[in-house]
Each structure stands twice: as structure tokens, then as C-alpha cells.
Structure 1
Amino acid sequence: MSQAKLIALAAVVFLSCTQVTYAKTFCKPSNTTCWPNSTEIDALKQSLGPSINRQLKWTNSSQPRVTAVPINSASDQPLYGLSQNASLDPVYVRSQVDLGNTCFQPDASRYISTFCLASVRNYPYEGWTPAFVVWPVNASQVQIAVKFARKHNLCISVAGTGHDFLNRHSCADGVLIRTALLKDAVWDLTDTKGFGNADGNVKFGAGLVFSEVHKSAADNNRYVSSGWATTVGIIGWSIGGGHGPFSPGKGLGVDNILEVDIVLNSGELVTANSMQNSDLWWAIRGGGGSNWGVITAITIKAYKIPTGGFSFWQASWQGTFCNASLSQLDSFVDIYQNWTLTLNNQFGGLTFISPSFTNKTSDCLGTWSIYMSYVFQGPSTNANLTQFTTALTNAIKPTTSSTTSYANWWLLVQNKALEPIWPFAYLTPSSDYIGGLPSVLVSREVMSNGKWAAYAKARIRECLTRKNDNGCTRHEMYQDITGNVGSPQDQQVSISEGFRSAIVHYLVAYQDSTQIKALYSLGNNSYFSESAYTMDGFAERYWGSNYQRLQEIKAKYDPESDFACTHCVIGATASSDGITQFASYYLVLTLMSILISLF
């Protein structure tokens, strides 16, 4: 082909693939043409049944948690006790006073109103304040809320529990739909719906948290793949990837999604599974939350409790930065790295290494501690458990070590320490910190060749040179994904290829723009729900080669990006804050380069 023809072909491809439009401009309070008036707001409240009981109250430790609990909330009540003694309103409307203040400043001058309490959630950064907070009790009421937003051209965000580190539950001046009251649980232990999972399935309402989920599962002699924290919601965890103690054996959250009921931006309630709206089902299995619509229910796989129940192994080590003790830490890192490669799919766990600068000569300027906890799907007498734990503890003697057996997972969960949400900026980006929870998915190859151990040891030593959070930060290794020997490898998911094959989800907070390059050298992908707030190339890091298909599905089901959020799939448009989507340009420019290189 001649050079002229190649250039012409490249130009045609470029023009046909770059029809990039911009997201619509949403209505603002100053626009009386579209902004809802008091009569319309009252009509919305009445349509949602103001007399319906909407109480979120935690009774006591023998009962499951009902949703997330904000930091320093009296008696561990949700929403700082807003609905402890009375029902929630169906709709909370922001006032002019609310607009002129910022909720939950961590000092004596903080401003807290009823509207603030109704919208409380994790780390609200920029653009956090909605105009309306809606509390539906069923899917029909979610439809009403979505149609209200569409009628008045308002952006829509979704929050269940509020356990979101990356501000994906925010859209300024829009409608925040809280799904925490959708609490149904329907068990199908004999798989009458024909999903093909031998132990059955369960349909959970979008408002259920893992505390409630595990209690319900235990009551039915079952367990489900889940996260670690008790008040994390089933929806956000599942669709963002979902790592946890059972994932190496039973799959990630995305692997376990059989079906979802979801309200689209049109207000239509649809079902998505492998046979019906299968493209949307695939996208939801890894495409992330606050992006596709409002999920009202999710059907996931159930599993019979293993013979002998579950075993929970914990161990800890402590030391200083003195030469001999630091050498012991180095040895642990090397041994741990090789140990992870041997574990099979019965094990799922986490390891935290915490260095600390003390400035005490007797401590050689610093100390370190290690905490490990691993779950084994089987009894404590199982030879596999003994073999693998002693392989580590015999190499380096721990300070503490114990194994506890549980007949079902609820018995552990009901007494597990609470992980509160922080309703004020805590992991916010700054001049020397990229924000969020920077992470990388580490492959078996990187663990095998020693690259991870070399990075970890060097980064830990920065504690002595930086003497601040950017140096003395905790290293969190989650070996609770699907890289263990024999782990399932479901391919009908939209997570990145790197997530699918990784052995450890590695999280090291407090990274600056220089440090993050070294972390990212360990792998090309990060976990959607726990990652840096500031991230170049987020589409590639989250979804890899799946991103283009995700864009197409986003454009099909939400063409105007009524559901938009930070670093989410935004199709071939701009996000509502005006950030242009360049992914299609990258594809075209790559193709042009290939064509021209043929000369």
C-alpha cells in the first residue's frame, strides 16, 4: 500500500473513532427552570412513604451490625445516632446554612446538621455535598428517586454503607441515593433457579453488610466469599473486585456474582445475568460502583461450611532497627515472600509490617512489628494447616502465635473489632502525598524473583531517613485473592488480567509522586476499591485491555453519564466535572503509529 493510502486510511480511522462528546451540564440551584421547587420536593417525599419505618439501629453485640459506624459515634450507632430513636426521613434537603458550611471538620469548629448526619460517609473530598439525600426502602422507591433526578437533570451518586476511600459516592448538587435500608435475604439452597452452583445461592438486598450476611449464612449452614470488615456492604465490595479470607478457594467477589437487579438511568429496573443483559452483568463483575446504575439486589454463590469449620491463625513479631533485629526483619521478608508461593486455595490471609521512627538511641532510632492472620477452610488439626504455619514460625520464632477454631464464620465476625468510617478528609491528596490507599497487584513471578522483597526492605528503611508518614507507613500484604495454588480463575469478569493472576494485593499508603513509581514497578495493575486517589492511567491500572469494552457498555446503558464518579468508566464522553475521556484517542494514535511505521 502506498504512503498516501496509508495516511488516508489512518485519517479515516481517526475521524471515525474520535467522535468524543462531552457530558451534559447538570442543573444547578441557580437555574429555576430545572431546579426542583418546594412543591416538587414535597411530592417526592410523599411518594416515598414518609410513614414507613426507616430505622438503622444497632442493638448489641449478639446481633449483626446494620451498616457502617462513623468514628467516635456514641454506642457505635450508625449516622451518629440519627435514627437510633426515630425513623429516618425519606428525603433530606440541603439548606442554605448547610451549603455555607463543611460537615465534620475534625476540630471544635465543626459544623454538623441533620443533613450532614444523613449523608455521612467515608472521606468526602471535593464536590462531596449533594443537594438531596434519599433513603429508599425498596427497588420501586429507587426508581422514583432516579426518575426525579432525571426529570430535574441532576447527577446521581450511590452509597450503601459509606466505606469508600476514593470519593466515588459524590456528585455536587445532585441526588445521593442511600441503599442501606434494602435488607432482604432470600436463600435458594437447592439452586432452583438453575445457576449451577451445587451448594445453592442467595439473593441479598443492597443494604446488607457482611455482619448481617454472615449471620444469615450461618443460620442456613452456609458461608459466602466476603471481605474482612464487618460493616462493609455486599455491593461495593463485590463489584469492585472483592478480596477476602475465602477468595483463594471460592473466588473474588466478582467471581461469585450470579445476577443483579439494577435501576438504570432511565428509571427502568432490569435484571442482569449470564443470559439476560449479559454485557451489563460482565461489566458489573469488576467495573466498579456508582457507575452503572443503582443495584438494588445481588445474587451470589453460597457454600456449605467445610467439615470441621474454619481455623483462624494469628502470629506477631516485634523488633528494633538495631543491626541484629533489622537482619531478622529482612529474613522474615525473604521467608514470607517464598512462603506465599507454597500456599494452596484453602488459605487466605493478610500480613502487616509496621515500621516506626522513635528517635530513641536505645531503640536504634526505630521499631518494627509484624502481624499476620490467616484463615484455613478446615479444622485446626488438619495437617496442611500445621505444615504451613510451622514452616514460617520455625524459621523465625514469633512473639505470639495462636489458632482458634470456629464452627461457622459468624462466630468470629460477631466479636470482630469495628472498622469505623471517617466522615472528614483523612487520606486527602496534598503537595507531598498522592492520597488514597496506593496499591499494586503483585504477580507470582514478581514474588518469585525477589523483586517484591527488595522493594519492601528498601521502603521500610525509608522510615529512618524520612522520619514521617511517607517513610514510616504500614505495609499491607493481602494474600486473599486468586493467585494461590489451585485458586479459581473465572474469565467472565471485567477486572484486569493482572488482578486475575496476582498472588498478593500490596498496599503501601503515604506515597509521593516519586515513591509511587517504585511501587508501580512491581505490577501494572491496582485494586479499584483500595488504590491511589491521584492516578495517571487509571483505566489501564484498573481494567487493562477490558477498558474499551467497558466504555462501550457504559455508553449503551448510561449514555449521558448520569452516574459518574472519580476514575470510573465514563465511556466516550467527559465526566460531569469536565475531564475528557482520552482512551479512544490512545487507541487511534496507536493504530496510526503502526500504519505509518509500515513505510
Structure 2
Amino acid sequence: MTPYAAFWLTALLVASSNATPLWFSSEANVLMDSDLRGLSSSVAALFHPASSSPSNGTSSRCRVYPGDAARPSDEAWTKLNELTDGRLVSKPQPQSAVCYPGPAYDGEKCAAITSTWASSYSHMHDPIEAMSPVAQGMTCLPPNVFDSHNCTRGGFPLYVINATTPKHVQLGVNFARNTGVRLVVRNTGHDFLGKSSGADALSIWTHHFKDITYIEEYKDDKLGYSGPAFKAGTGVQAFEMYKAASEKNRTVVGGEGETVGIMGGYIQGGGHSPLSSLFGTGADQVLSFEVVTADGEFVTANSTSNPDLFWAMRGGGGSTFGVATSVTVKAHPEMQTTASRFSFTSEKIGNETFWAGIRAYVDYFIPNADAGTYAYFVIIPNVWTGIFTFNMSPFFAPNKTLQETNALLQPWFSRLDELGIKFDPNVTHFDTFYEAWRSSFPLEVVQKINATTGSRMFPRTNFETEEKRDELFENLRQSSENNRVQVHFNIKAVDPANADNAVNPAWRQNILFAQQAIRWPVNGTAAQTLKLREEFRDGDMKRWRDISPGAGSYLAEADRMEPNFGQAFWGDKYPRLLELKAKWDPKDVFYAATSVGSERWRVESVDGLPNENGKLCRVEG
């Protein structure tokens, strides 16, 4: 195997159209034939790329698990650790193992973990922790959060490669493909659907690909881009990327959540942003990927090198076509930003007046999105008191002065005043996007143990007439009255230069990206929980689907039970994505819940619920 001629970046880089791939120094460490010399032929066969491997893995119905006759030997796992420079983490324990009887018990550590459990910062540096316990299977949580009565691995991986070079990733991919062991890819653990978990799997952890380099002038004639860019490792998180960009008087399109790994699954799945109404989705910004493919090769994917893979990875979803080690993205100018945070409740004004205030807001969704703003708001019902709460957190106006933002908000604020709704708009101007972002958005938390979220993208047609706005409003109100917490984003995703990629076409028409959550009794049975989730899918979520025919959902923030997920997440692009999945990953080495081609597989969970606590097996028939 002959790798690319390796050279690396240590300072400012200049790239020209169709340039040789630009690598970080860590990316020069790729798998060579010499790395496998001296191994017995049977062991070496486990690590060869598909092009030279005599092994075809396994054709059994399920992936290979502990206890199976085909399970790799201890010698094989030991050799995987050696070849990956000792970076194989064997049988990592869930954090909360210290809270349960057994050799790991430690009362002080349990208390410390419990006190910070809800914070994403307490999970993102762990090799296996998932920020959606429901999708993991809830088999080991702090007892005062959820008492699982004992601690089992559940949907957590059994082995983790703490990867820092392409070689580490290549070895993991080859090993999984050639042995039939289940493979998962994890960055920070941010996802609603369990995509970065997998019972007893081998996990490739990309969290420590942390390099960032600024490129003053990147030119790609085919993409029609000439300008500044950043190349960043896939482990780079929002708080790291935004800071690095601001130091260059730039910004990039990323999520609002500060600990999200925006160069990983976020950007590969599309990725909505506080800047999307100005510049499009995260995937629209990508200029190039460095990626390990399912056959174990390290390649560049851009407009001229593997362009079909480049197309698929810009919106086709993470853990599907390859494992990216770095991404090059467009950089935009740093800009002034104005933000507003406020709330009001129905407690003193009554429910009818409260909902009149919400209905008034719906009239301004189109003009606000067209003005380039991003509104992140929540509607919370209280089933015990009958009180509804509205939180704007925040109304975010990049590249807008204080006066321009006040002018946008004033028509709605005047109607709230007329209704007698009291609120403090707290409209604040910031000199930079970075300062506004740091000050305005709440820290994301570990998801609830008894809830899941469904989502829908409501297109412009839902807001173009008063009749359609009334219809949408009544459906939102009905969801609140059905005790559904709602999270909304008044946003559009512009289509920069008619970007040709796998991003869900529904984003191009979106005006309101809406989410609602179903909750169930914490101590209910699995059958009760499943019944409630099915009723939610076929009830409240169906109402939303019915009034937005042909629209879609966002694959990273959705219900794992979303019906016809291919159409919902990719629209008319799904058939091409299936073709490219067959080309680039014919053995389905990569699997994630509701990913492209995942309908061929199912997790046979131990409790029958949609989670990762069970074997991954082929769907028969």
C-alpha cells in the first residue's frame, strides 16, 4: 500500500484549486505494509485493507459478539492494541459503575459524578458515555437519576480505540471489517438517537483529533470558492472552533451548543447554525475531507478527488461512508451581533392571552428568517398547574445593529404590549459573533431519562397565508396542551451558490425547525414506554407531518422511530445515497441508527425498546 506523499502544516497554508491534499502532521501517520510485517499470516489478515485482505469477515446474521465462536482471540485484541500504539481502551467502565456494589464502588466518586451528571462537560471526555441515556439503554446511571439496581455495560462498547492518527482509524476499520465485530464511531457523544453507542462493539473515538489551522486563501474553482478557510480535526468542538476563528477575526458555521463536535457527525449530517440564515448549513461550508473509508484506505474527498464521496459526506450522515479525521471549511468575517433573551408565562395573563402572544409571533417567522436571524425558543407546559411558559433563549441577529434588531422585533413586541403581556426583552449588542454566542446560549445538558424528541421542518408554505399560519399555530398549541415540551428554531438554511450535496432539501424551504418531546413514567414497563412512543409517533408527530406534506426532519435531532426516515432525512436524495453506500461500504462496515442503508439491520435490544442494548443483526426476509 502506497500512501500519499506526506507533508504537513505547521504554519499558514496557501491552497490552490486541485491542490495536493494538505495534511496535519498527525495525518502523515498512515497504515503501511511494513506495520504488519512479522505478524503471522492469520493475524496480519485481520488488519489488511480490503484490497489486499484474504479475509471477507463473516456472513453470519449478526455481528460478532463476545461468546460467539467467531469472536477474535485475546491475541488479536492484544495485537490491535500494539499496532495502535497502546491506544486500545479495553472494557471501559461506565462512569456510574462507582455508584453500584462491586469492585468499582466509590461513594465519594459517585457523589462527585452525580453532582455534575447533567452537564455535557462531565461526559464529553469519556470514551463511551452517551448524552442520551435512553438510546444507550439506561443500564448504568447514578441511582438518584435512575436506579438501574446494578451496573451493566448495556449499549456501551467493549473496546475503544482512542485514535489520534489515520493509522489508528485504519486499523480499527480493517479489524472490524475482517472479523465481523460491530463498529461504532464516537466523537463527543452528542446525539438523540444512539448513533455513537453499540453493545459490546469496537468504537473508534475521534475526540482527540484537535488540530486547527487557518488558511488565508483557499481556492476551488469547481466549488466556486476563493477565500479564507480553516482546516480542523474532527474532534474540534464548537467552543474551540469559534475561539480559534475569532482570534483570526473570522467565524465559521457551527452549532449553538458549545460542546458539540462540529467537525464530526454534526457537519456530516447537515448541521443547523445561528449563521444558517446567512450562510447555509454546516455541510454547505465543507471544502474537503480527509477520511478513512470502509476498505481501510485514507483518502481525500473534495470536488475533484472522490467527488461522489465528497457529495455524500456533506449531509449524508456520520458513521455511514467513512471516518473523517479532518475537515476544511469556509471561514467568514467576524461580525457584530445583537441578541435578545426574555420569557413570559400564562400565570397572570391567562392561557388565551398567552396563546394570542404566540400566535402573533407566528406572523413574523418569514420576515425574521429572511432577515438572517436565528430564534431559539421553548414552550413548556406544566401539567400540574396548567401554566404555560415561553422562553426566548435567544433571538439571535448576526450582522445586525441594535437598532436593526429592535426594528425587527418591535412589531411583535407592540402586539405583546397590546395584549398586556409583560416581558423584559433585554436586547443586547455585541461587537463580535463570538462574544454574542458565548453570552446568549444555554449549556446543553444530558438528555432526559424518560423522554425522546420528534422533529419537523415546516416550510415557507406553512406561513404564506393567514389560514396556513392558523393551522400551524393550532397544531403547536395542541401539542402543548398534550403536555409536549417544544423546542423551536425560526431559521432558514440558504443555499449558497446552489450547493450540490446530500443536505436534506427540506432545509432549503424551512422557516421553522420544530421539536416536541414525549415523556413517560420513569418506572413504567418497557411495554408501556413503547406504547406511548408509538402513540406519539402516530399521534402528535403525525399531525405535524400531515400539515407539512413532502417536508422532512433533521437526522441529528429526531425520533429514532421516525417513519420512512430515508425520505424524512434526505428527501429525493435518498436513492443516490443508497447507491453510494453500496459503492463505498458494500459490507455495511459502518452502521448507525436511521443512517443510510440501516434499514437492512436492526438492534435486537434486550427490552424491545429502540436502543443500543442488544445485538446488531440483519433484517431477514
Specify the code of the residue in structure 2 equivalent to 1:31.
D
Larger displacement relative to structure 2 (225-234 or 151-160)? 151-160
SS at match of 1:145: helix
Deviation at 1:79, TM superposition (A): 5.4
- Kept in 1: contact 2:340–2:428 (CA 8 A): yes
2:82 counterpart of 1:46:
yes
1:546 is the counterpart of 2:573 = yes
Alignment equivalent of 1:454, drawn from 471, 484, 487: 471
1:441 equivalent in alignment to 2:449:
no
- 1:134·1:177 contact (CA, 8 Å) conserved in 2? yes
Are 2:516 and 1:508 equivalent residues in the alignment? yes
Question: Partner letter of residue 246 of structure 2?
Answer: A
**How much does 1:292 deviate?**
1.2
Larger CA deviation: 129-138 vs 156-165: 129-138
Is 1:402 matched with 2:426?
Answer: yes
Is the CA contact 2:81–2:88 (under 8 Å) kept in the aligned structure 1?
no
Separation (CA, whole Å) in 2 of partners of 1:81 and 1:287: 24
* Residues in 1 aligned to 2:138 and 2:454: alpha-carbon distance in whole angstroms: 30
For the 8 Å contact 1:551–1:569, the answer to whether it is kept is yes
Q: Structure 1's 211 and 453: CA in aligned 2 closer, same or farther, altered over 3 A?
A: farther
Residues 454 and 517 in structure 2, CA contact (< 8 A), matched pair in contact too: yes
Give the Cα separation in 2 of the matches to 1:40 and 1:420: 38
Post-superposition offset of 1:373: 1.8
Give the partner amino acid of 2:294.
Answer: N
Out of 303, 311, 322, the residue aligned to residue 293 of structure 1 is: 322
Q: Tell me if structure 2 keeps the 8 A contact 1:225–1:247.
A: yes
How far did residue 580 of structure 1 move?
4.5
Give 3-state SS (helix, strand or coil) of 2:453's partner.
Answer: coil
Q: What does residue range 432-581 of structure 1 map to in structure 2 within 5 Å?
A: 436-449=452-465, 450-461=467-478, 471-482=482-493, 488=496, 490-510=498-518, 511-523=536-548, 524-570=551-597, 574=601, 577-578=616-617, 580=619
How big is the shift at 1:303? 0.5
Would you say 1:371 and 2:392 are equivalent positions?
Answer: yes
CA distance in 2 between partners of 1:517 and 1:75 (Å)? 31
Equivalent residue, structure 2, for 1:279: 308
User: What amino acid does structure 2 have at the position aligned with 1:210?
Assistant: A
What is the match of residue 334 of structure 1?
359
Distance 1:476 1:543, change over 3 A: same
Distance 1:108 1:526 in 2: 33
Does the C-alpha gap of structure 1 residues 73 and 170 become closer, same or farther in structure 2, counting only changes over 3 Å?
same
Q: CA deviation at 1:44?
A: 1.9
Letter of the 1:37 counterpart: S
- Could you tell me whether the CA contact under 8 Å between 1:23 and 1:561 is conserved in 2? no
- Supply the distance in 1 between the matched residues of 2:546 and 2:342 (Cα, whole angstroms): 30
Letter in 1 for 2:116: S
Rounded to whole Å, the distance in 2 between the matches of 1:145 and 1:165 is 25
1:581–1:558 distance in 2 versus 1, CA, 3 Å: farther
- d(CA) in 2 for partners of 1:246 and 1:219? 18
Distance 1:392 1:569 in 2: 42
Aligned pair in 2 of structure 1 residues 260, 395: CA closer, same or farther (>3 Å)? same
Consecutive unaligned residues of structure 1, counting only runs of 5 or more, are 1-21, 54-68, 93-98, 117-126, 360-364, 428-435, 465-470, 583-599
Shift, 1:82, TM fit:
7.6
1:222 partnered with 2:250: yes
> Residue 9 of structure 1 aligns with which residue?
none
Counterpart-to-counterpart distance in 1, 2:137 and 2:334: 53
- Percent identity, aligned pairs only? 23
Q: Which residue of 1 aligns with 2:288?
A: 259
Structure 1 residues 517 and 537: alpha-carbon distance in aligned structure 2, compared to 1, 3 A threshold: same
Counterparts of 1:272 and 1:374 in 2: how far apart (Å)? 36
| Shift in Å, 1:273 | 1.1
Which amino acid letter does the alignment assign opposite residue 460 of structure 2?
R
1:442–1:503 Cα contact (<8 Å) kept: yes
Distance 1:426-1:169 versus aligned 2 partners, 3 A rule: farther
Q: Which amino acid aligns with 2:318?
A: G
8 Å Cα contact 1:168/1:566 also seen in 2: yes
Partner of 1:297, secondary structure, is strand
Contact 2:139 2:148 in 1 (8 A): no
Check whether the contact 1:205–1:297 (CA below 8 A) recurs between aligned residues.
yes
* 8 Å Cα contact 1:355/1:368 also seen in 2: yes
Correspondence 1:392 to 2:412: yes
Counterpart-to-counterpart distance in 1, 2:365 and 2:209 = 39
Q: Work out whether residues 242 and 252 of structure 1, in 8 Å CA contact, stay in contact via their aligned partners in 2.
A: yes
Are the aligned partners of 1:565 and 1:575 in contact in 2 as well (CA < 8 Å)? no
Q: Once the 2 structures are TM-superposed, how far is the Cα of residue 259 of structure 1 from its aligned partner?
A: 1.2
2:5 corresponding residue in structure 1: none
Determine helix, strand or coil for the equivalent of 2:230: strand
- 1:36, 1:152 within 8 Å by CA — same for their partners in 2? yes
Task: State the match for 1:237 in structure 2.
Answer: 266
Distance 1:356 1:203, change over 3 A: same
Once residues 536 and 227 of structure 1 are traced to their aligned partners in structure 2, the CA distance between those partners, rounded to angstroms, is: 26
Are 1:201 and 2:237 matched, yes or no?
Answer: no
Amino acid in the other structure paired with 2:68? N
- Measured in 2, the distance between the counterparts of 1:559 and 1:579 equals 14
Deviation per CA, 1:37-67, whole angstroms, max 9, x where unpaired? 22222222222223899xxxxxxxxxxxxxx
> 1:95-152, CA deviations, whole angstroms, 9 ceiling, x for partnerless residues?
xxxx999322643555569xx6xxxxxxxxxx72322122111222111221222232
The 3 A distance-change label for structure 1 pair 304 and 160 is same
Distance 1:171 1:76, change over 3 A: closer
Counterpart Cα distance in 2 of 1:71 and 1:520? 39
For 1:590, the equivalent position in structure 2 comes to none
Q: Greater CA deviation, 523-532 or 345-354?
A: 345-354
Give the Cα–Cα distance (whole angstroms) in 2 for the partners of residues 288 and 100 of structure 1: 23
Q: For the residues of structure 2 that align with 1:226 and 1:277, how far apart are their CA atoms?
A: 25
Q: 1:104 aligns with which of 125, 129, 141?
A: 141
User: Residue 579 of structure 1: CA displacement?
Assistant: 5.6
Looking at structure 2, the residues matched to 557 and 153 of structure 1 have their Cα atoms a distance apart, in angstroms, of 17
Aligned equivalents of 1:167 and 1:229: distance in 2?
A: 18
Partner of 1:411, secondary structure, is helix
TM-score by length of 2: 0.72
d(CA) in 1 for partners of 2:61, 2:86: 32
Q: Deviations over 1:438-475 (max 9, x none)?
A: 111111111223435434335535655xxxxxx22222
SS in 2 for 1:396: helix
Give the Cα separation in 1 of the matches to 2:496 and 2:138.
49
Q: Does 2:268 match 1:248? A: no
Q: Which amino acid aligns with 2:79?
A: A
Question: Map of 1:52-71 to 2, 5 A cutoff?
Answer: none
Query: Are 1:380 and 2:408 counterparts?
Result: no
Matched letter for residue 369 of structure 1: F
**Distance in 1 between residues matched to 2:273 and 2:401, nearest whole Å:** 20
CA contact (8 A) 1:357 1:463 kept: no
TM-score normalised over the length of structure 1 = 0.74
Structure 2 counterpart of 1:66: none
Specify whether residues 488 and 395 from structure 1 end up closer, same or farther in structure 2 by C-alpha distance, changes over 3 A only.
farther
2:65 matched to 1:28? yes
Q: How far, CA to CA, are the matches of 2:384 and 2:506 in structure 1? A: 38
Please report the RMSD computed on the Cα atoms of aligned residues, expressed in angstroms: 3.3
Change (3 A) 1:176 1:574: same
Query: 1:406-434: CA deviations, max 9, x gaps?
Result: 33333344455421334x8543xxxxxxx
SS in 2 for 1:386: helix
Report the CA distance shift for 1:159/1:414 in structure 2 as closer, same or farther (over 3 A): same
The alpha-carbon deviation at position 276 of structure 1 amounts to 1.2
Change in CA separation of 1:300 and 1:353 when aligned onto 2, cut-off 3 Å? same
